[in-house]
Structure formats: structure tokens, C-alpha cells
Amino acid sequence: MLDGPAPTDADAARASRFEFAPPRHFVLPAVLLLLSEQPGYGYNLEKDLREFGFGKIDRPTVYRTLALLEQDGLVQSWTEAPTAGKPRRVYGVTPLGERVLRVWMSVIEEERDCLARVLGRYRATGTVDAALAEVEGGWARALDLGWSPVSPISPSPRRVEPLATLPSGTDAGVGTHRVHFRLVPERSVVLLDVRSTVGPISFGAIGVTGALEAEVAADRVSCVNQPAGFIEIALDGLRSGNGLYDAELLRRIDVRRFPIARLELSRCAPLSSANRYRLQGELAFHGVTQPADGTVNVTVKPDGRLVVTGEHVFDIRSFAVPSPTMLMLRIYPDVRVRLQIEAQTDGT
């Protein structure tokens, strides 16, 4: 069993061997981009550069960058006759600067693709921390979710096969003990991946709550005596990083009337793969309750924590939710729900 308190974000920052900082060299193409939009004064560039999020930007940095660009022939400057006060220096992009900016955009696109591959690999680990990072950073929208542009989902409800017909696997229940778990909200997250006419959008919320009760033996959960429990999601916490999309989603699901989505677990059966289970229960969402089933990975950690990860595709029309539409944006009705939760025994 692991000893000591769980590490914090501050601990992680102190233990890292690099400084968390954006690439400052991108200030050069950023200045070229701003001046390609229109010539401007150095002191006006300071505010616009900050909006790119390149870290600390001050006036000396702006003027040093302009001097370097002018020295290389990418920027030219001239004195503007004042209407009042002192003459002011105006900067603009040269033809060579325009061509260099085009090359820089290719470099930035390549850098973005490389970083997206790193994010994709991290996301593919399927860990709770990867899911938390996805919600906290809002970077899932930059990844290709690999969904078809045409919805294959039929509005007809899918027939749920009873668990009694599933293979029982090896789950003897010998040496098990009943354990009560409570979800750790700050380590539990839900993500909704949707397809739209503008591409994939991911909404996420940290703070999933609930409780589970299960027979545990070593690092496995036994289904001889059925587990029980529930999970609740506060829907007003869903965020995509785009305020317009968030507002439209919350309006469509009528979050004021139906603020909570609740999943009740009723049945469980082990599958042939280790630590993989099929679950059945009921999902209450938008004032409608529907049967729900799917497969999850369940791991009992050496320190007693329970980690559950899984995903399932729902048709929102089954819950009387119209597909959100805003201007040219249309969200398709099939929604992939990814759940990453962590629970600890009650009283710990």
C-alpha cells in the first residue's frame, strides 16, 4: 500500500525538470502576422501579442523583435507626421516579410501536428489524469476523433441483451469482502464527444460524484454478489472551451430544469478480458430514464482505490433532446460518453 498524501499540482511542477512556458520564438511570426493585417505602432502591438498567449510580453520585447525583423529586411518603418505631439514610428511588413510569414505558418502547422500527436498518445493512455488534463486544458477539440461525418445512429432504441446470457468468466468470489467506495470528485471526469458540421467538439466536466458497493478480491471485482451504486453528473459544469457552444448545449438539455444526470448500476458480468466487465443499469437524463449498458475497465489499485474507465455511444433523441443547431453549426445526435472515475473506500 502506498504511504503519504496524494501529490498535488504544485508538487508536480516542482518535480519537473523544465519550465512550463510557451515557445517565445513564435513572437517573431506573430508580429509579422499583426503587421500584415495592417501597419502599426510598436506600443499597440504589445496588447495584441498578449492575446496569442506567448507568455510575458512587454514593450522592450516588442521593440527588440521589431529591430530584429527590420534588420533582416522583413519589416520596414517610417515616421508618421503627427497631428499633435511627437512624430511616431510606424511599422509594416515588406514583400520578403510576407513570404517569410507564409513559411512560418507551415512551421507552426507542423509544430501543431507534432504536439497533437503527443496529446493523442497521452489521451490514448486512458488514465484518469489524461481525462482530467483533457478537460482542464480544453485541448480535445484539436484532436481528430475519427468519426464519420454522417450519423449512423438510428433513433430506434437498441435492444439490451440480458446479462444472464453472457459468459460468466472466472469470478468465483472466493476470499472476497464487501467494500463501500465513494467517488473522488476532483479525480472523476466525464467527457462528451460530439460530431458537428464544424468538426468534432468535446465537452467535459470534472466533479462526478457517487458511491459504489462491490465484492473485492485482490485486484478484481467479483460479480457473484452483484455490485450496486450510482453516479451523478452536474450538467452545468460541462465546458468545451467555446462559450457559444456551451451556452447552446446547456440550453438544449434544459439544465435549469434537469441539472443532474444519474446512472444507476443494477447488473454486472465479467468478460473474458482481465478487469473488463459489462454493466447494466438505468440512465436518467433530461427527465427521461432509459436502460443503459456498456463495457468498462475496472482496476483495484494496491492502495485500495477503484479506477473505472469506459465509454458508450448514446442517441440524444432517445432522451427527447433535439440536436443543437446554431447558425451554421449542427450537432449530430450520436454522442460518445467517456467516463473516467476514481473512488476510495468510505472513511479514508
pLDDT for the residue numbered 14: 54
Structural domain total, the chain: 2
pLDDT for the residue numbered 121: 83
- 65: CATH: 1.10.10.10
For residues 180 and 45, state if they share a domain. no
**Helix or strand holding residue 100 (H, E):** helix 95-124
Q: Determine, yes or no, domain membership for 122.
A: no
Q: Determine, yes or no, domain membership for 78.
A: yes
Q: Determine, yes or no, domain membership for 131.
A: no
Q: Which domain holds residue 227?
A: 140-158+171-345
For residues 252 and 321, state if they share a domain. yes
Report how far residue 251's alpha carbon sits from residue 259's, in angstroms, rounded to the nearest whole number. 11
| 220: three-class secondary structure by DSSP | strand
For residues 98 and 18, state if they share a domain. yes
Q: Determine, yes or no, domain membership for 133.
A: no
Question: Low-confidence residues of the chain, pLDDT below 50?
Answer: 1-3, 15-22, 144-173
For residues 193 and 336, state if they share a domain. yes
Q: Determine, yes or no, domain membership for 319.
A: yes
pLDDT for the residue numbered 230: 95
For residues 312 and 189, state if they share a domain. yes
pTM equals: 0.64
Q: Determine, yes or no, domain membership for 146.
A: yes
pLDDT for the residue numbered 326: 59
Q: Determine, yes or no, domain membership for 242.
A: yes
CA distances from 8 to 73, 101, 187 (A): 48, 41, 12
For residues 314 and 207, state if they share a domain. yes
For residues 109 and 144, state if they share a domain. no
For residues 202 and 341, state if they share a domain. yes
pLDDT for the residue numbered 120: 79
- 281: CATH: 2.40.128.110
Q: How far is CA 247 from the centre of its chain?
A: 17
Phi, psi of 259 (to 5 degrees): -75, -15
For residues 106 and 146, state if they share a domain. no
Task: List Cβ neighbours of 46 (8 Å cut-off, separation of 6 or more).
Answer: 57, 58, 59, 62
For residues 145 and 292, state if they share a domain. yes
Q: Determine, yes or no, domain membership for 165.
A: no
For residues 177 and 315, state if they share a domain. yes
pLDDT for the residue numbered 56: 76
Task: List Cβ neighbours of 300 (8 Å cut-off, separation of 6 or more).
Answer: 216, 218, 219, 220, 221, 306
pLDDT for the residue numbered 86: 79
For residues 287 and 175, state if they share a domain. yes
pLDDT for the residue numbered 306: 92
